Structure 1
Amino acid sequence: MEIKNIFCIGRNYKNHALELGNEVPDQPLVFSKPTSALASADGSVLSFPANRGDIHHELEIVLYIGNEVERGFTVEEIVTQMALGIDLTLRDIQSNLKKKGHPWFVAKGFRNAAIVTGFWDFPGVEQIKDVEFSLERDGETVQQGNIQSVIFSFQALLEYIYEEIGLSKGDIIYTGTPEGVGPITDGEEYTLKWGNEVKGRFTVSKRS
């Protein structure tokens, strides 16, 4: 599967924005990650820096644009597959960058900062509204949500990206995280679940 661009949405769940002391946005907050940040939740051990402060996990639904995008599209016309992903953040570095008014890219674009499970066929927005997605840390649920709690719908997000930046076949979109974000620690195993189905796993290795 070809992945061209990685777009991410910040603060798309109200309770997550509030838990970090951020304002609830009145329009989508879009940022990007490089494709070099991609990593697979295929049971691998993934390495992360141990000397750059806290690294927070943010569980998200990921959409894959599998068809050409033309004005007036619907989500179902352009999204062909979906996955679960984790947007990792160097939280201390991000906080310092925000205080200085600098871009977040260094805090969001490091190696293995865009974890993703395998993709599966996208069934449509209505079909996934009641499905809970969750993240377990060593068997304990630390994040859980569903898309009924989003501030901006998938349709609104994709239209915004299309109009403001551009959206193409091959792009993926991390659609925002529910509350419960927190730091990862060396040796922990994380499990990403769609309903009761395990979609991916990885183990943390923090290196100096």
Structure 2
Amino acid sequence: MIEMIRNVYCVGRNYKLHAAELGNEVPTEPMIFMKPSHAVVPLDDAVLALPKDQGEVHYEGEIVIRIARDYEPGAVVDDLVDQMALGIDFTLRDVQSVIKKKGHPWTAAKGFKNSAPITGFIPFPGTGSVTEKDFTVLKNNEEVQRGNARDMIFSLQEIVDYIGARYGLGEGDVIFTGTPAGVGPASEGDTFALGWGEEQLGSCRIG
């Protein structure tokens, strides 16, 4: 399924507590950035190589939704999204801090190889049911992040409408929908496991 991914959209600052922990203002409209499809790798007990000479690398656990057909105005999420997964938006935080001050694009901090690992896909339960479970990130077997779609600043529908109207959405596109509070550094040897409710969907180790 990963090899069929096309565009990788990401939503920044979509949880109030995450924006606050980084000292960022809460946005008034979705903040969208992209990662190359080459950044996507499977979270299947993989050993991931991350940059070691560009400062701290931070993990950001997120719900990822997969688009099943072309977006048209008025389309609803439950008709557009067929599957979901969990992913980690790995970020070169020191690099990001510098380029933010300069007003430069985020690609250098967000788009490096292995920066968008995702679990296997599961059926999307629908917008009415996706809030029934929390998603979690365990670092070295300790919970560091817990999130729920109900806590998003911008709903899945708002995100899909915003991206679809401005940039387009089609089959095979995926959207990283934002991270809750609890982000932090990832170091060589750390393990990460992503859970949906009581089910673990994927894991990795930093090599």
TM-score, structure 1 as length reference: 0.97
Give the aligned partner of residue 133 of structure 2. Answer: 131
Q: Which amino acid aligns with 1:89?
A: T
Structure 1 residue aligned with 2:11: 9
CA deviation digits over 1:66-118, x for unaligned, max 9? 12322210000010000000001000000000011111111100000001000
Q: How many Å separate the matches in 2 of 1:78 and 1:173?
A: 12
The separation in 1 between residues aligned to 2:205 and 2:167, in whole angstroms, is 34
Whole-Å Cα distance in 2 between the matches of residues 108 and 179 of structure 1? 18
Aligned match of 1:62 in 61, 64, 67? 64
The counterpart of 2:173, out of the listed 163, 171, 174, is: 171
Deviations 1:32-60 (A, max 9, x none): 00011111100011111111100000000
Q: Match of 2:90?
A: 88
Conserved? CA contact 2:71–2:168, under 8 Å: no
SS at match of 1:26: coil
Does structure 1 conserve the Cα–Cα contact (< 8 Å) formed by 2:72 and 2:164?
A: no
CA RMSD of aligned residues (A): 0.7
- Count of residue pairs brought into register by the alignment: 205
* Most deviating of 66-75 and 109-118: 66-75
Distance across 2 between alignment mates of 1:164 and 1:69: 11
- Contact 2:85–2:122 at 8 Å: present in 1 too? yes
Q: Is the 8 A contact 1:67 1:80 kept in 2?
A: no
Alignment of 1:162-201 (within 5 A): 162-201=164-203
Counterpart AA for 1:68: D
Instruction: Determine the C-alpha separation between the residues in 1 that align with 2:188 and 2:149.
Output: 30
Unaligned runs of 5+ in 2: none
| C-alpha contact 2:188 2:206 (8 A) present in aligned 1 | yes
Cα displacement string for residues 110-163 of structure 1 (whole angstroms, at most 9, x for unaligned residues) = 000001000011110111212110000111000001011110000000000011
In 2, are the aligned partners of 1:5 and 1:170 still within 8 Å (CA)?
A: yes
> 1:39 is matched by which residue type in structure 2?
V
Residue from 20, 25, 29 that aligns with 2:27: 25
Distance, in Å, in 1 between the alignment partners of 2:72 and 2:51 is 41
Segments ≥4 residues shifted beyond 3 Å: none
CA distance in 2, matches of 1:190, 1:105: 23
- Hey, what does 1:114 align to over in structure 2? 116
For 1:21 and 1:71, the matched residues in 2 are separated by 35
Alpha-carbon shift at residue 170 of structure 1 (Å): 1.0
C-alpha separation in 2, matches of 1:44 and 1:104: 26
- For residue 37 of structure 1, the aligned residue among 33, 36, 39 is 39
Which secondary structure state, in structure 2, belongs to the residue aligned with residue 126 of structure 1? coil
Report deviation, 1:31.
Answer: 0.2
Contact 1:129 1:146 in 2 (8 A): yes
User: Mind listing any 5+ residue stretches in structure 1 that lack a counterpart?
Assistant: none
Q: 1 CA distance for matches of 2:144 and 2:52?
A: 21
CA–CA distance in 2 between the matches of 1:120 and 1:133?
Answer: 13
Distance in 1, matches of 2:18 and 2:69, equals 31
Contact kept? 1:47, 1:112, Cα under 8 Å: yes
